[in-house]
Amino acid sequence: MVTFVDEVTLHLRAGKGGNGCVSVRREKFKPLGGPDGANGGDGGDIILVADPQTTTLLSYHHSPHRAAGNGGFGMGDMRSGAQGEDLELPVPVGTVVKDPSGEVLVDMIEPGMRFIAAPGGRGGLGNAALASPKRKAPGFALLGTPGWEGDVVLELKTVADVALVGFPSAGKSSLIAAISAARPKIADYPFTTLHPNLGVVQAGDVRYTVADVPGLIEGASEGRGLGLEFLRHVERCTALVHVLDCATLEPGRDPVSDLEVIRAELGAYPVPEGQTPLLERPQIVVLNKIDVPEAEELAAFVRPDLEAQGYRVFEISTVARKGLRELTFALGEVIDEHRKAQPVEPVQPRVVIRPKGSRKEFEIRVEGGTYGNIYRILGEKPVRWVQQTDFQNEEAVGFLSDRLDKLGIENELFRAGATPGSTVLIGEGDSVVFDWEPSIGSAAELIQAPRGTDPRLMQGGRRTSNERREQYHARQDARAAARAEADEVRRARRDDLPEEAGTKDDAS
């Protein structure tokens, strides 16, 4: 059964924004009440929170799929949609958040840090918000945009003051159990420790944490054993304690050679930029299991050599509880000196500055296709505007066209070589496909036909106001002429009837 997880992939889906509402105010004796459709609510965010009470990512290992609440739809009478409920996910302090490609998004090293891993979608505007002097009663509203959906990788790096490193079965678990309240698994076979164990040690007035890391073997930096997988938990430690087994029965092993192997593996492990290399941190050597007579003699023999290399050496026995007090107080001194050397600064709130106008709102990428070039428009605004458009509503599509034109997309399409009828896509992947037809503008560079002609006026599309007026007057004149002709015919018939009647009377 899995009891400890230090790396997990989360599948996140933020809340979708609610759609705006199309509504017109209807009130007695006020036929022109105006639009009163309200906006939709924003979708909920998924927020990661650094929680000191959380020590593992086990819950996310069992339930990796997480979703936030959707925003409510806007309603008439200016009733806005409800905001989607945010989802807060507590993670251990020291969790590194990465994207699937391995790029670090944030390092949650401070308790209480908050990071929006998946922002929610925007709520759509209702027709009341879209009203303007030119469009007094819009017959459309904007749709809500979908929230962010994707994967993030959580990697836990234990935040401890002291790390116990050494070969398997060197007595690291026994040591942390003897100096703290931690109760790790202890057995007489290698690789008993399968995940880091944390313990809190009180040495006088100094309290610090100790991490027991799974045993290292030669080649751990190249992936052998379990050491490489858990060496990330040593990155944040202030001091290293080399636990050396003086009672090992394996041939070719002794405390000095074991120390050389462990140092080589620690030196080969790359630490993140800005952190002190592992071998440049304070190091203490512990000669363990001196309760065995042969081990005690071996410890006394190698101790001068280790001290000559500059190490502080302690001979201990976790079984007989010898030397533990001296060791814990020595570690307390190292940690206390390190803490005093660190500048004490209050945690400042993180300010995110997003400059506006310093980058292009969109870009056009020309892609080759079977039937000619395809022009793909990429940018936050164009993609969001397309997501907000109801393509079943012609007025909404016209509003989208106006927005894209104001952004300067038509000019850029012309410069990229697009011609009327070219295929234009907005967004990555399965995006919306358009057949580009330039709108009539005043920019002379949009004229592609010979001088004096304009292909946009030859499409037989919408009639101009003058054309509609002329056609209306022509119809009215034709109707008036037809009425006049019919009146003449009726008048002529009426004038002829009395003469025929008089002739018949004379004949009788």
Task: Produce one character per residue of 238-271: b if its CB has 16 or more CB atoms within 10 Å, e if not.
Answer: bbbbbbbbbbbeeeeeebeebbebbbebbeebeb
3-state secondary structure 476-503: HHHHHHHHHHHHHHHHHHHHHHHHHHHH
Cα of first residue to Cα of last residue in the chain, in angstroms, is 128
Around Cβ 466, how many Cβ atoms within 10 Å? 8
Around Cβ 188, how many Cβ atoms within 10 Å? 6
Q: What is the SS3 assignment for 44?
A: coil
Residues 6+ apart with CB under 8 A from 432: 386, 391, 425, 426
Dihedral-angle region of residue 408 (phi above 0 means left; psi in -120 to 50 means alpha; beta otherwise): left
Q: How far apart are CA 185 and CA 174, in angstroms?
A: 9
Binding-site entries for GTP: 166-173, 191-195, 212-215, 288-291, 317-319
Binding-site entries: 166-173, 191-195, 212-215, 288-291, 317-319
CA distances from 50 to 67, 108, 202, 500 (A): 19, 6, 25, 111
Instruction: Sort 452 into a burial class: Cβ within 10 Å, 0-12 / 13-18 / 19+.
Output: exposed
CA distances from 16 to 64, 150, 201, 388 (A): 20, 14, 48, 12
Helix (H) or strand (E) holding 406: helix 394-406
Q: Which among 121, 181, 188 has a CA at the least distance from the CA of 148?
A: 121
Dig out the tokens for 489 from the structure.
Answer: 């015919």
Binding-site entries for Mg(2+): 173, 193
Q: How far apart are CA 311 and CA 322, in angstroms?
A: 19
